[in-house]
Structures are given as C-alpha cells and as structure tokens.
Structure 1
C-alpha cells in the first residue's frame, strides 16, 4: 500500500494580551479573559454580572494606564517574545513541521489560526502551551477551546496535546542560566513568585478532600501531579537544587490574587514582611511566566519595588523570563519531537 507522509502542524499557545493599551482594547481583552468559566468558575449568571458590570468597567481604565507603561516599540512584550520563540522554534524544526502561534485571548486568535491550519490538511497537529505547570485556567482552557474548534472539522487529523513540562531539564537549565548574571549571595533572600489561583481551583484536582490535605509543598505523587500548587513547588525544588540553595534561602509565593481565598503565601505580603525584617535586596524568579509581561515587568519590577521600599528594603531584582533563551527553544523543540 502506498504511504503518504504529511506535514505536522505545531500550535503554540500563550495566554494573550490586549491589542493595544487603549481602554477599549484592554476592556475587550479583560472581558474575554474573565468571562472564561475556567478562569472565574462560578455560576454563569453571577459571573456575567460580576465581570461585565463590576470588574471590567472599573478595572479597564486602571489597567490601560499600566499597559501603557508596559508597552514598548515592539508592542506587548508577551506577544513580542512569544513570536520570537515561535519563529526560533520553526527555525530549529525540519521542513516536516510548520509552527503557528495563537493566544488564548485576543490575537492571534486561536479560532482564526486553526482555520488557517485546517486548510493545510496536516497529517498531525501538536498542541503545545507556553505554561510549564498545568492549571485548568491556562492549559485546560486552551485545550478546551482547541477541542471546541476541532469538533467543527469534518476531517480531524491525529491530535497530540504535549502536556505539562515543569520538570523538563532544558526548562530548568534555562531558568538557572537566566540567574547566572546575578550573584546570589548579594541578596538577603530569594522569592519564587508564581501566578496565583483560587484555592478551589487546586481543590478540584482531587476526587476526595482538599489540596491542603496533601503534602503538595514537598512531593509529587500520582494524585497531585496535576495540582498547580504541587508542580510550582516541584519546579522550585529543581531550580533550587541546581543553584545550590538551602530551604532557608528562598520562599515560594503566589502573586496577582483577586481575593483572600487564593493560594498563599501572597507575594506582596512576603515582600512587605522581608522589608520589615531588615532585608535590603531580594532576587525574584517568576517560573510560571515564560515570556515577560505585565505580571513580571510591572507587578514584580515596579509595584513590589515600591512595597519593598515602603517597608525598609532597597532593591528588588527580577530574574528575566525565558523569552527567547536558546535552552527554552530547545525545550520546546524536544517537546514537539517527543509528541
């Protein structure tokens, strides 16, 4: 029987960004993002009222001012570095692969990108998110939208979801190399700051009981391997081991919370506490963010710096995200080839 070897499409997905820092574009982005039931997982009517009548109208103008501070000549840093990573990955892969970049929210839009991919008649499609640790609000949401679009296709090729990769050796090596420009002993303490999640999000991972019933801070098991909290701590342990850090040298914390029922400890409160305890210099890693964005550049770099100074500290140093680091591209390539 004659065999036809077709090309493989690679769909690389990041979270998303407003099209511009204008209030209208920020409002549109926040509306799409926060109306996702995997992000705010409360009854639909309540979510619609909360997001569209309270959060977005009040938050959009404030967020637009922050995005204007973030914006560069290349536009959104998250989109810029995601495109760079996508282009570099395409260069590393053979002609048998074609790489496409999409954002879960806004542009390049997943639906539009998948329409383009459908026309290519790929033999196989590999879906790879830029989120090392699984969370329903990030990887899960992206996968769900991809599957919703695939349902509309008459011909559905072989599909492979690459899965989480918080422990990939090249990912860890890239983060460690990012830190090599800093002398760790110059800092009084080190923070590993991950994006926060509501506690109920990690609780839903388990059939029985709560996340707090498990030892997610210290081990990965068959039961908690998809618990975001557990994989954040596991990522930190891997980085800390490579850097030769002791447990007392660092703190795992969670940023960007919306209310008190989110994963603790809260990054801003840890920064405040360290300042009050007399720390003068903090080094901050952000291992959940593979591209620098509002949460790293502004929240950590500016807002936490201000909090630290108000409480007696002097300098918060952000370790840059992976962005277009060669080992990050190597990690993505390996994930594609293994898929």
Structure 2
C-alpha cells in the first residue's frame, strides 16, 4: 500500500438492524457509556439496564423502522459516501476509514485494519462540529483505549471541534441554498441537547450559567458545548443573512428538565401558537441525517407545528456528503497531515 497516512472518521453509531434485539444492543452500549450518562456506575447500570433499555427498545425499534431504507441505516449510508468521496479527493497518499462509536463498524475493528497498513500518521476526525464529552470526548477516548495497547504507536493527531471554520460555515450555507429564509416566518436552529451538569463540568471555576455562553465565544468557554452552539448559529446566520430577531436556538432529544434549554419541541409549539405558518429548521450539530433529524424534526416536530396552527415545517438537510462538506473534511485533513 502506498498510503502512509490514515484518517479515521468517527460518527456516533446506529443499530445493525431495526429489530428489538439489535436496537436493545445499541442502546445498551450507548447509554452505559459513562460519558453519556455520567452518574454513579451502580445507579447508571440500574437505570439503563433495568429501566431505560427494556422500555425504550421496543418504542425505538418502531422509529428505526420508519427511518430505515432499502440500503440500510442513513447514518451508515451517508458515512460511507463521505468516506468514498474524501478518499477519492485525497488520493492514494491517504487511506480513509469510517468507524462508529457504538456498534458497527466498530472502532477496535477499524483501528485493527488501520494498524495492518503500517502507516506513519493517523488522524482521528470525529464528525461532531461542536465538542461534547458525550460525543467527541467518548469517541476520542475509545480510540485511545485501543491504541494505547499497540507496541508501535504512530504519530497521532486528533480534531476536537471545527464548527468555526469558514469552510464548514460555507458547507452549511450550501445545504441551505435551496431554502430562502425570507419565505419563512421564523428560523429555528435545533441542536442535540445535553444535561446542564455536563456543560458545567467544562469549567474549572463556576458553572455554565456564570459565563456568557449565549453572547460570546472566547478562550474562557471554548470547550463549552452551549457556547459553541450559539456561536455556530451566529456564524451561519451572518453568512446567510438571517437577522437576529428572526432566529431562535433550541435543544432537542432531552431526557428530563435538567437539560439545556430552551427545548426545541416547546419552541416549535410556541411558534405555531404565535401564528407562524412556515418554519425553517437547521440542525448544525448533525453532519449526517439520522433519527434525530429525519424523524424527530422532520416528522415529530412537523406534527407538533401543524397541530398548533402551523402549516409547513421545513428541515434543512444535513451536510451528508455534499461537495463543500467533502472539501471541508479534506481541508481539515490536509492542514493537519
């Protein structure tokens, strides 16, 4: 093999199939991750294995069946297409692989494959624009847990976040090009939620609420997920020309009330009750369309919006394997290797 540089793209994961058994296996691995549910280990085991997974698996299976396509899981499909296009653009100096933090293709198996290539450098690129311990942090830790046992450890480089790159913002603008924000009454930027305690842990002093995360992004809050989400929104809105009064930031997929607010589903209901008829929704925390975008926003939020007087909710597709997104990924790689 000519390649002496390896790139590992990592996304969150997906069940192997939309069956109760496969979904249960996925949820168990995902929710037992101490970076995802960061509570006492005994409490986590009881909560996840005794309550959440047994009750949630059958319900989630029905949703995954709605999401599934003839080709399989959209997250895998988009990931493979991105990998192929990035590989093609980079050429044979690099080898590009895709892994999932949970389930298949697994990080240990893909890293074993990379190890067999005997490359000089490895770049780990989690496909999460904004850093969060439960996504980026977990992916990086999983990679390190495998590589630490190698006798020969090649030069290792890691990308923790990239939401403020101009080319990433351009990629978001390209994804939104088919939708004129002026045709909509309001624009919602919906990000995956996190427990407030997880963003609080970012700070050496004080809590997230003690800082200025909604208003500015700087050295002080550079690894705060909430601050990164607000900054991402400002950058995209400024690039597209959406005035500040016309957009709102929300957080979705919460498990309880102690998560980041405002909650996206409640905002959607509120917009409809205010008389908004057309709502445009971005989901910049997701680089590939998945259950949280296609089903949660595209179907469930659309239903909430219409039930409360709205007429049309339009989801802006994720970056998936769009040309400018492929360019961005290649730029990140070439700048670091």
Report if TM-score (shorter chain) is over 0.5: yes
1:94 aligns with 2:87: no
**Whole-angstrom CA distance in 1 between matches of 2:76 and 2:157:** 24
1:257 paired residue number: 254
Give unmatched runs, 5+ long, in structure 1.
Answer: none
1:226 paired residue number: 223
1:31 paired residue number: 28
1:168 aligns with 2:165: yes
**Whole-angstrom CA distance in 2 between matches of 1:175 and 1:96:** 28
1:312 aligns with 2:309: yes
3-state DSSP class of the match of 2:176?
helix
Matches within 5 A, 1:67-146: 67-146=64-143
8 Å contact from structure 1 (residues 23, 60) kept in 2: yes
**Whole-angstrom CA distance in 2 between matches of 1:299 and 1:10:** 31
8 Å contact from structure 1 (residues 7, 123) kept in 2: yes
2:273 paired residue number: 276
Give the Å deviation of 1:11: 0.5
8 Å contact from structure 2 (residues 10, 125) kept in 1: yes
19-28 or 170-179, which deviates more: 170-179
Cα deviation digits, residues 88-136 of structure 1 (max 9, x gap):
0000113111001000000000001111111111101000010010000
Cα deviation digits, residues 255-280 of structure 1 (max 9, x gap):
00000000000000000100111111
What is the TM-score of this pair, normalised by structure 2?
Answer: 0.98
Cα deviation digits, residues 268-311 of structure 1 (max 9, x gap):
00001001111111000000000000000000011001111111
2:17 paired residue number: 20
1:325 aligns with 2:322: yes
1:212 aligns with 2:191: no
1:243 aligns with 2:240: yes
RMSD (CA atoms): 0.9
Show structure 1 runs of 4+ deviating over 3 A: none
**Whole-angstrom CA distance in 1 between matches of 2:220 and 2:176:** 32
8 Å contact from structure 1 (residues 12, 100) kept in 2: yes
3-state DSSP class of the match of 2:9?
strand
8 Å contact from structure 1 (residues 6, 123) kept in 2: no
Give unmatched runs, 5+ long, in structure 2.
Answer: none
3-state DSSP class of the match of 2:96?
strand
What is the TM-score of this pair, normalised by structure 1?
Answer: 0.97
**Whole-angstrom CA distance in 2 between matches of 1:86 and 1:297:** 21
2:299 paired residue number: 302
Give the Å deviation of 1:6: 6.8
8 Å contact from structure 2 (residues 3, 95) kept in 1: no
| Number of aligned residues | 335
**Whole-angstrom CA distance in 1 between matches of 2:29 and 2:226:** 25
